[in-house]
Amino acid sequence: MNRRGFTLIELLVVIAIIAILAAILFPVFARARESSKRSACLSNCKQLASAMQMYIDDWKGRFPSFTYREQWKQLEPQNIVSYTKSEEVFHCPGATDVNSARVPPRNSAENWKNYFGRNMGNPPQWKWTDYKMMDNGYLPGMSSSEVRSPVWLVVCIDNTDWWPRHPRGSAAKNYNDGGSNIAFLDGHAAHFLKERYNDGNKRSGPDVDDAGATPFWNWGLTRDYWIPE
């Protein structure tokens, strides 16, 4: 019995079909993978916000005392890490060696990584957080009862830059598809695209608080805007 093989035309048609399917499916798989990372990161933000609230409850209603340049303090034994199940909650799956502090500084341009990581323990081991917390000069050590609108106050964001709280900030150190996962003092968290952040100018609309700013700008508001006098 004679067995006919594929002709060159038939092989080319099959190859073309495979190429078309690949072109369609690969972006879908990539988006699914990024969506999964974003969801895992959002879960981390929620857990860190919960850990922050537990810390506040244990310390007579006061916020922890660390600033933007002291984010590594999240990992001190008596700090936020003691209210989490694992240090993995501090690691965003979308972060890289470039936009996070997962590796120590390799040159002077990366000295900012010392804000987010430190050698800790005995023997010393590099520990880091991919999340920025308490990036408001008025918050460290302050009583949470002074916060007028917990629903608007950002306590955790998956970003190591000063964006979005400052108009000169950039998204260069952002992890998740052009936006950020953000958790608020009242415990809710969500993913927001950069287009929804404002530039610090007073605005109006459904996504604006009573100070005329989006919640992301609350890290930069003056004390009289969000703390009752």
For the chain, what is the total number of helices (H) and then of strands (E)?
2, 6
What would the two tokens of residue 223 be? 């004390």
Peptide bond into 164 cis (omega under 30): yes
Q: Is the pLDDT of residue 34 over 60?
A: yes
- Which tens digits make up the pLDDT trace of 94-103? 888 887 888 9
Q: Residue 218: what pLDDT?
A: 53
Neighbours of 29 (CB within 10 A): 10
Residue 128 belongs to a domain = yes
Does 21 reside within a domain? no
Are 92 and 175 within 8 A, CB to CB? yes
Mean per-residue pLDDT, 59-69: 88
- The predicted pLDDT at position 65 comes to 85
Query: What average pLDDT score do residues 22-45 get?
Result: 78
Residue 72 is encoded by which pair of tokens?
């590594």
Residue 2 forms part of a structural domain: no
- pLDDT for 193 beyond 50: yes
Instruction: Name the residue with higher pLDDT: 11 or 2.
Output: 11
> How many angstroms separate the CA atoms of 18 and 9, rounded?
14
8 Å CB contact between 129 and 114: no
**Could you give the percent of the chain with pLDDT greater than 90?**
28
Closest CA to 216 of 198, 204, 203: 198
> Would you give the DSSP letter of residue 90?
G
What is the number of structural domains in the chain?
1
What pLDDT score was predicted for residue 170? 43
Q: What would the mean pLDDT of 143-149 be, rounded to a whole number?
A: 79
Q: Report pTM.
A: 0.74
pLDDT (0 to 100) of residue 31: 66
- C-alpha–C-alpha distance, residues 178 and 172, integer Å: 9
Q: In this model, does residue 87 exceed pLDDT 90?
A: yes
Assess if residue 207 is contained within a domain. yes
- Reply yes or no on whether the pLDDT at 29 is more than 80: no
**Could you check whether the bond before residue 123 is cis, i.e. omega within 30 degrees of 0?**
yes
> Does residue 214 lie in a domain region?
yes
Distance CA 68, CA 116 (A): 9
Q: Is residue 14 part of a domain?
A: no
Residue 178: which domain range? 32-226
Residue 4 lies in a domain: no
pLDDT in tens, 40-55: 899 999 999 999 999 9
